[in-house]
Homo-oligomer: A and B are copies of this chain.
Amino acid sequence: MDHSKSTKKPMTSRELAALIGVSQSAVSRAFTPGSSIARDLRERILMQAREYGYQPNAIASMLTKRRTNIVGIVVSDMRNPFYPALIEKLTQALQRAGLQSLLFNVTPGAEIEKQLVAIHTYNVDAVVVIASTMLNSRMLTRITEGRKAVLLNRIGHEDIASVCCDNALGARLLVDHLYEAGHRRIGHVAGMTSSGIGMLRYSAFTSRLAELGMRLTRTVSHEAFSYEAGWDSALDLLADEPDAIFFTSDILALGGIDALRTDPRGAGVGVVGFDDIPMAAWPNYSLTTYRQPVSAIAETTTRLLTEDGPTTPKLYSLPGELVIRASSAPRITGAE
């Protein structure tokens, strides 16, 4: 009867110390960069440690150092393909910096408050909140207070740092592009009207529209950033006979493109999105969009979280890139 599988207890610093005849403190210092220990002693200990398979217990060290090296990532909308991509890049960047990512999936149904308690009890060093219109300002304050925090794709909080692509620039570039392609009457599809980012894009969009003397036919929203919402919104807008439609996010735009294909009036209507999710590049969609600098966002976030001192609560706005594809092809001007 051998149940060693669960019995196999890892060695402690004291055990290793005893084995190689040094003090426990020496072992601890050997593994603590910058601590006061002779170079050769450290090397000897590290070598022996490798030999015996000793690794310091991170939990114990968290307790004394008051530092977990864990970043809580709060996310609610994994449906929008942009976010998995962002999370992937982010966790990779964090891992490179020696930080692990604890994922907090905020779901609509359950008691959100309760889910967020864990963020406190797990003592995460920092919190990254991704979009999450599900969290109100008060909850946000609760989970970010007393620790480093960065908001991604969320703005309007004076006391928390926020990293975004340059939404206003993106919106303007897209409008400029539509203008050059000959589109004049533009429809707008918002995602959720409660999204600060969405509203930011919207206001940049409309003001640029005005500057160029273009016309906003109408703005509609089905209160979701989803394919279905995009579909429904596009059909709504068709009544106005727009030249083109500005979707505030790619996932909306994809639904819109497919919807437009179901209606003869949809032919020739230009479409632009925002984000540049992988599907935007699929030939079937060929969506013109503004590419979010996902890697730069991940890097910047990581930098902010690893810097010493509290995170400066400013808005870090990173330039993206206009990606022109077929969906916004120049308008064929016939009888107007």
A residues adjacent to B (C-beta < 8 A): 5-6, 8, 10, 55-60, 62-63, 68, 70, 73, 78-79, 81, 83-85, 87-88, 91-92, 95-96, 100-105, 107, 110, 115, 117-118, 120-123, 145-146, 227, 254-255, 258, 261-262, 278-279, 282-284, 310
Contact = CB atoms under 8 A, between A and B. Distances in A.
Nearest to A8: B146
B59 A63 contact: yes
Given A6-B310, A59-B68, 14 more contacts: A5-B145, A5-B146, A5-B310, A8-B146, A59-B59, A59-B123, A83-B84, A100-B104, A101-B103, A101-B105, A227-B282, A258-B283, A262-B283, A279-B279
A146 B261 contact: no
Given A78-B85, A310-B5, A227 B58 contact: no
B101 A102 contact: yes
B227 A79 contact: no
Nearest to A9: B66
A261 B278 contact: no
A92 B81 CA distance: 18
Contact of A95 (B88, B92, B101, B105): B105
A278 B254 CA distance: 13
| Assembly stoichiometry (copies) | 2
A21 to B, nearest CB: 25
Contacts of A310: 5-6
A92 B107 contact: yes
A204 to B, nearest CB: 29
B58 A122 contact: yes
A121 B235 CA distance: 54
Given A115-B95, A227-B282, A279-B279, A55 B107 contact: no
A70 B60 CA distance: 15
A275 B104 CA distance: 25
Contacts of A56: 121
27 contacts: A5-B146, A5-B310, A6-B146, A8-B146, A55-B117, A57-B123, A58-B121, A58-B122, A59-B59, A59-B122, A60-B63, A78-B87, A79-B278, A81-B84, A83-B84, A95-B104, A95-B105, A95-B115, A100-B122, A102-B103, A227-B279, A258-B282, A258-B283, A258-B284, A261-B284, A262-B283, A284-B284
